[in-house]
Amino acid sequence: MNQAAEQDYVWHRGKAYRKGYTTGSCATAAAKVAALMVMRQQLIHQTSIVTPSGVALNLSIENASLNATEAVAAVRKDGGDDVDATHGMLIFARVTVTDGPAIEIIGGEGVGTVTRKGVGLPVGVAAINKTPRHTIEQEVREAIGPNKGAVVEIFAPEGCERAQRTYNARLGIEGGISIIGTTGIVTPMSEESWKRSLAIELEQKRAQGHEQVVLVPGNHGERFVRQQLHIEQDIVVTMSNFVGYMLQEANRLGFQRVLLAGHIGKLIKVASGVFHTHSHIADARLETLITHLALLNAPHKLLHQVYQCLTTEEAMELIDQSGYQQVYQNIAGQIISRVSGMLKYARHHFECDAVLFSYDNSVLGASRPIEDIMRDFR
C-alpha cells in the first residue's frame, strides 16, 4: 500500500479499515460541480474538494444534467468501513444561478426539516449543519464569482426512507436525513482502538511536560475552549464519549488538574453517573435536569414541561424563562462529585473542574467561578 493509499485507512489489530466521507462532503462536491456546469455550460463527471479537516477528496459525479441557468449533480455517500444509514445513497445538489449576489441554501426532497429547538439550527430550516453550509457556499461562490447569486437545493430521493434508521425523529428532525460532518471524513474504528488512540494523545501531552489537560467531547468543545475560555489548544484532548475511560487514563498518567468542558447535553449525563455518553449506552439528560430543578424547589409545571422536551437546549429556554439558571452550576458541581466517586480508590487524585456550555457557546455553569478556572488553565 503506497503512502497516499495509507492515508485512506486506519489500522486495528493488523487490519486496514477504509475511511469514508460525510453527507456534508457529498453535498459540497455536488453543489460545486452543479455550479461549475452552469457557468461553463458543459457536463462534469469528476471533481475534487478539500474537506474542513484538510483532506483532499477526488469524487465521481452521477446523474449530471444542465440547462442555461440550472444544473444538477449527485455524489454517492461512502462511509468506508463504517457503514451507516446513509451509506451508498446519492446526495444531489441543484444550483440555479441568479442575478442577485446572495447564495441561498435550501433543502429539498429527502432532507429533513428542523421542527424542534436544540440541534443548533433554527426551527423550520433544512437540516443542513453549519459546517456543510459554509463549505457549500464557499465552493459555489468560487465557481460563480462575486457578482452572481445562486439558489442551492440539496436533496436526497432516498432520504425519507433512510432517515427511519437514524435518530433524527427523536431530535426533532422530520422528513429526511441530515447533511452533517464537521471534518468531512468518516473514520472507522473499533471502540477499543478508538479509545486507545485518544489515550495516546494524553500520553503525548504528559510526555511533553504538561500537568494540566482539558478534555472535550469533540470539535464544538475545542472551539468553545479556544474562543470563550482562551485556553491554549496544546493541552486540549478529545475524549469523544469515553469520559470515564479518559479520566482514568488522566489519573494513571499523573495529571494534576483536569477540566471537563462540553455541551450540557453531553456532560449532564456524567452528573447522573453515566461515564460513557453515547446515546446507545444511556440517556438520563432530562431526568437529571428535572431532579436538580426539583432540588431547587422548581414548580411542578416547569418539571412537567422539561420532561416533555426532546433536548436539553429546548429545556434551557424554559429554565431561563423561569429563572432557574442556578441549576447549571449545581449540575456542574454534581459532575465533580461523580468524578470523585469514580476515582475514590485511586492512588493518585487530580483537581477536577467542569464547565457546561450551550450551542451558542455561552457558559451555562461551572464547578468553580469561571474566572478562576480560566486563570488556572492559562
Lowest mean pLDDT among 96-100, 134-138, 217-221, 331-335: 217-221
Q: How far apart (Å, rounded) are the C-alpha atoms in residues 304 and 99?
A: 51
Across the range 64-92, mean pLDDT stands at 92
The residue count of the chain comes to 378
* Cα–Cα distance list, 331 to 12, 210, 273 (Å): 37, 28, 12
- At 241 the pLDDT is 92
CB atoms within 10 A of CB 337: 13
pLDDT tens digits for range 10-28: 555 556 667 889 999 999 9
pLDDT band for position 4 (cuts 50, 70, 90): very low
- At 220 the pLDDT is 86
Query: For the chain, which domains are there?
Result: 3-186 (3.30.2110.10), 191-376 (3.40.1050)
Nearest to 239 by CA among 212, 211, 220, 216: 216
Higher pLDDT, 314 or 81: 314
Burial of 82 per CB tally in 10 Å (0-12, 13-18, 19+): middle
pLDDT above 60 for 190: no
With pLDDT > 70 as the criterion, what percentage of the chain qualifies? 93
Q: Cell 435536569 appears where?
A: 289
pLDDT above 60 for 248: yes
Higher pLDDT, 121 or 167: 121
**What does the mean pLDDT of the chain come to?**
91
